[in-house]
Amino acid sequence: MKKMLVFAMLFVTGFCFGADPVEGFWVSVDEKTGKMTGGWEIYAIGDKLFGKVLSITGFPQDKKASKCKESYKGFPVPGKVNEMTVVGTPWLYNLTMNKPGAWSGGQVLDPDTGNLYKCKMTFRPQDGKKFMADTLEMRGEIGLGIGRSQYWRKSTREEALSLR
């Protein structure tokens, strides 16, 4: 009986503390204005990482990704991509873990332009110096390390859903 109780506690503890630090809710921030631009949910399915938009600022929440192509190789949702809404669609997909807090090898599709980039994500813990809050570095690259990073702030589900 004691062994069963210990096993059950270890099993539940694994679920409570097993999530990677990149998983959860984040807000993207415009690096020029400092304003929040969108709410995101980052989540794992099996050994792959995905990210979907939960809300966007300055646009209707039913805005379509009309500048995208009809399809992209490996896109995780069936259907015509250019008819999908920005909110609710996983624009970050198929990243694999390098080590806890660092993922790469996936794609990020910009729903505003239809441009597809290689994607890397790295968790940057709050350190009181460079990072005043838990931060997610989301990097899109066109190749050979050429690209740019955005820095997203850790958020709550409510905040990530509330941006308009």
Residue 162: φ, ψ to 5°: -95, -10
Flag whether 10 is in a domain: no
User: How many separate domains does the chain show?
Assistant: 1
pLDDT single digits (tens) 71-106: 999 999 999 999 999 999 999 999 999 999 999 999
pLDDT single digits (tens) 17-58: 569 999 999 999 998 899 999 999 999 999 999 999 999 999
- Name 90's Cβ contacts closer than 8 Å, sequence gap at least 6: 50, 51, 52, 76, 77
- pTM of this prediction? 0.87
Flag whether 135 is in a domain: yes
Flag whether 134 is in a domain: yes
Flag whether 15 is in a domain: no
- Name 6's Cβ contacts closer than 8 Å, sequence gap at least 6: none
Q: With cut-offs at 50, 70 and 90, classify the pLDDT of residue 2.
A: very low
Flag whether 5 is in a domain: no
Residue 3 pLDDT greater than 70, yes or no: no
Please state, in angstroms and rounded to a whole number, the distance separating the CA atoms of residues 93 and 118. Answer: 10
Task: Kindly state the tokens that stand for 112.
Answer: 């505003």
Task: Kindly state the tokens that stand for 27.
Answer: 């807000």
Flag whether 93 is in a domain: yes
Flag whether 70 is in a domain: yes
Flag whether 9 is in a domain: no
Helix (H, G, I), strand (E, B) or coil at 16: helix
- List the domain range (segments joined by +) for residue 120: 21-162
Helix (H, G, I), strand (E, B) or coil at 17: helix
CB 62 within 8 A of CB 38: no
**What CATH number should be reported for the domain holding residue 60?**
2.40.128.520
Residue in this structure with the two tokens 């729903």, named with its chain if needed: 111
